[in-house]
Structure 1
Amino acid sequence: MFIKELQKNELLAPYIFSDCCENNICVEFDPSISEEDYIVIKIDDFYNATVKSPDTPKSPDCLIVLRCEDGSFHVFIAELKNVQHMGGLNKKDIREKFHTCLTDFMSGRFRDIFYNEKYRFNLKLFLVAGRVRESYSMNFKLDFLLTMRPLQFANKFYGIEGQTPNPIVRPC
């Protein structure tokens, strides 16, 4: 099973948690979801601890794997930003973080897991920006992210979705 395979991986085990929080911004889970049905891998912590060089790649905060009732999975990659205004968001850095996760982490280092045909999953990329005034939230979702090129993973293209602080992962 997908979650068990990730949990038993010795390289990943120290970076598996049940929460996805950074800088007072979190991705929350619907209370009906059992902690056995999801895991959170702290991707940024993984890279900061395992890549010992000044060229440590930029990486997103969390990768969440959620088991669905039908046996499939949802994978969410989340970057959490606590910003006061739009100027605090660097489009190039954000894209680079997701690119690292998709190309190096999922398609490279852990390809045997993420490309395993036994595991079907839907993939979503989230930028969760906090402390953004409500009036900016719609502009944030529509303008900023629409100008970013989609990222490719497993011959599919994915856009980054904007989320206001503390989005809730729902059962699937």
Structure 2
Amino acid sequence: MLDRITNHPELFGLLRQSCEENGIGVRICDEFMDNGQLREDTVRILKVDAYYSSRNMHSPPPAIDCLIIIETGEGAFGLTLVELKNISSTRKADLKPRAIRPKFDTVIEDFLSKEFADIFLDNHIRISHFRLWLVTNPYRWPPMSEEAYRKKLKNIALKMFLSDKPYRFRGNVARIEPKQPGSEVCA
């Protein structure tokens, strides 16, 4: 899968070394890095919203920022879809499911399942994990453990995502998970 992505003329232009935008991002586990660069034998990051840009199409649909593909075993790959939102607490409406879900819808229903189905729906490839992350910190909380972050979420607008309708892709079920900036993508 990784070579097919690299060799695909449209996907090659979407390859990035990191998943960051407007001062926030996610980290890739050290085991997938080599001297500060992604290990080409195990991971790819695609800047999906660049594919759905107004330069490429008239009235593009909303799309998430990054798709991170990690080889997790022989013929097995994990997919982490990441939406980065660096907003203030006064713009919480930008975090409601009706503003976020269409971005994931586009990537799951069009990018993965239609446009590049020959790669992502290939029956010879197993999807070991399927994660949907909304990376944001509208309340400007200091860095904290994942457990502390989830406890804080229970009392705020982001808790809507914890019980929102799940997505399905190739036998995997996932909900959009709020994550704090700097969260680590691992196998």
TM-score norm. by structure 1 comes to: 0.87
Q: How does 1:101-140 map to 2 (within 5 A)?
A: 101-121=107-127, 122-134=129-141, 137-139=152-154, 140=156
- Residues 78 and 23 from structure 1, CA distance in 2 versus in 1: closer, same or farther, beyond 3 angstroms? same
Unpaired segments of 5 or more residues in structure 2? 142-148
Residue 146 of structure 1 and its aligned partner are, at CA, apart by: 2.9
Q: How does 1:160-171 map to 2 (within 5 A)?
A: 160-170=176-186
Residue 71 of structure 1 and its aligned partner are, at CA, apart by: 4.8
State which of 60, 63, 68 in structure 1 corresponds to 2:67.
63
TM-score norm. by structure 2 comes to: 0.81
User: Counterpart amino acid of 2:14?
Assistant: Y
Residue 150 of structure 1 and its aligned partner are, at CA, apart by: 1.7
Tell me the distance in 2 between the aligned counterparts of 1:165 and 1:141: 17
Tell me the distance in 1 between the aligned counterparts of 2:137 and 2:183: 11
State which of 33, 37, 46 in structure 2 corresponds to 1:41.
46
Q: Quote the residue 1:96 is aligned against.
A: 102
Count of aligned pairs: 169
Q: Report the identity percentage.
A: 28
Moved more, 159-168 or 140-149: 140-149
Residue 87 of structure 1 and its aligned partner are, at CA, apart by: 3.8
- Residues 114 and 73 from structure 1, CA distance in 2 versus in 1: closer, same or farther, beyond 3 angstroms? same
